[in-house]
Amino acid sequence: MQWTRLPKFVDSISDDIAKFPIGLTGNRSKGTYYVVMLSVSKPSLLNVCVFDTKIGRWIYDYVEHPRWSPAGWSPTHYQALTFNGDLHWLAEDGPIVAYNPNHMRKCVFIHRSQEMRHASYGGGAVVSESLTVSMGHLRIIQLVCFKDPADDHHHLCIWTLVDYKQFTWKKEHEPIYFRDMVSDIPWIQECMQRYVVNTTTNQDNAPIIMTYYKDPEDYLDDEYQPPETRERIVCTRPLVCHPSNPLLVYLYIRESSIVSLDAKQRSYGLSPATRKEAALTAGTTMTR
């Protein structure tokens, strides 16, 4: 139970190249761990930096794979989940990537169904999504919002990977529309039923890892396209499903609050942590 400073990158790995931590995995009983970081990647090449505690140094790993997108890609969140012994992260509007440092030069791409692609919701939709685990299944929470102030079709969907080996997805429920949800907390009711989408583009806030570096041979690639400019929801984003109840979803909304959404009851409430913080704040205010 101690902190360990990781060594600097050596050999062919430059400190000047952007790298982003993606996850930690290993064998607790043997005391061996891997720290996994992503470096600038291309549509058909995943660049990974792995620190192996057993040998005490960084390994520069690359994984070649069939191109699933003509543009450069990025994970939705820089925080992978450990599931079935592998690190899993969700690619931007793309597959789940499963990677295990014990098997270098390999990864598994779990592709989503066509219904789950962002384009299936229409040109005006802005989709924010999160990868989570509940009741032993990987799940994707999608928050689908529309920029037109007159459009009240903002909704949430939960997709479950019911068969890991066959890549079979199932929609857990019909879309849950913000307008149909209720809450006994007035400001949450007001916030969600009169929700106005505020977005930004990845040109404004994207890290360098999302930038596509064009090699000379790419000029000969007829399928090449520049990276797409994706709009992202600034606030109100999905976090996780409850570990034992996939229909209980936690969302981050304004004022740094975490809200629980009960898909079955179609109701909102404050998460236990947010309720506790609110109570402490109220108690402090009263004391003063």
pLDDT at position 168, please? 95
Residue 4 lies in a domain: no
- The encoded tokens of residue 15 equal 């400190």
Domain that holds residue 65: 18-111
- Would you call 120 helix, strand, or coil by DSSP? helix
**Shared domain check, 129 and 62:** no
Are residues 109 and 65 in contact, defined by beta-carbon separation less than 8 angstroms?
yes
**Shared domain check, 170 and 134:** yes
Query: Which amino acid is located at 171 in the chain?
Result: K
Non-local CB neighbours of 25 within 8 Å, separated by 6+ positions: 33, 34, 36, 82, 85, 86, 87, 100, 101
Taking the CB of residue 214, how many other CB atoms lie within 10 A of it?
13
Query: Which amino acid is located at 259 in the chain?
Result: V
Residue 183 lies in a domain: yes
- Would you call 180 helix, strand, or coil by DSSP? helix
Residue 281 lies in a domain: no
**Shared domain check, 128 and 257:** yes
**Shared domain check, 70 and 88:** yes
Residue 285 lies in a domain: no
Domain count, the chain: 2
DSSP state of 185: S
**Shared domain check, 247 and 192:** yes
Write the burial class of residue 251 (CB in 10 Å: 0-12 exposed, 13-18 middle, 19+ buried): buried
227 vs 204: CA distance, rounded Å: 14
Residue 10 lies in a domain: no
115 vs 70: CA distance, rounded Å: 20
17 vs 14: CA distance, rounded Å: 6
State which of 76, 111, 146 marks the end of a domain: 111
Residue 74 lies in a domain: yes
**Shared domain check, 132 and 107:** no
DSSP state of 94: S
**Shared domain check, 95 and 180:** no
Query: Measuring CA to CA, how many Å separate 233 from each of 181, 197, 220, 248, 252?
Result: 20, 7, 35, 21, 11
Residue whose token pair is 């962002």: 118
State which of 80, 96, 111 marks the end of a domain: 111
Instruction: List 38's β-bridge partners, or say none.
Output: 20, 48
Whole-prediction pTM: 0.81
**Shared domain check, 42 and 87:** yes
**Shared domain check, 23 and 158:** no
Residue 82 lies in a domain: yes
**Shared domain check, 118 and 98:** no
Q: Which helix (H) or strand (E) holds 280?
A: helix 272-287
**Shared domain check, 184 and 209:** yes
- The encoded tokens of residue 114 equal 């066509």
Residue 246 lies in a domain: yes
288 residues of the chain, pLDDT tens digit each: 778 788 887 655 555 566 777 888 887 778 888 999 887 767 788 888 899 888 888 888 888 887 776 655 677 777 899 998 899 998 888 899 999 888 877 888 899 999 999 889 988 888 989 999 999 999 999 999 888 877 888 899 999 999 999 999 999 988 999 888 898 888 888 888 777 777 766 544 444 444 444 444 443 455 545 455 567 666 688 999 999 999 999 998 866 688 899 998 999 888 765 555 545 444 443 333
DSSP string for 23-85: EEEEETTTTEEEEEEEE--BTTEEEEEEEETTTTEEEEEEEE---S-SS---BSSS-PEEETT
State which of 72, 94, 111 marks the end of a domain: 111
**Shared domain check, 164 and 52:** no
Are residues 91 and 80 in contact, defined by beta-carbon separation less than 8 angstroms?
no
pLDDT at position 132, please? 96
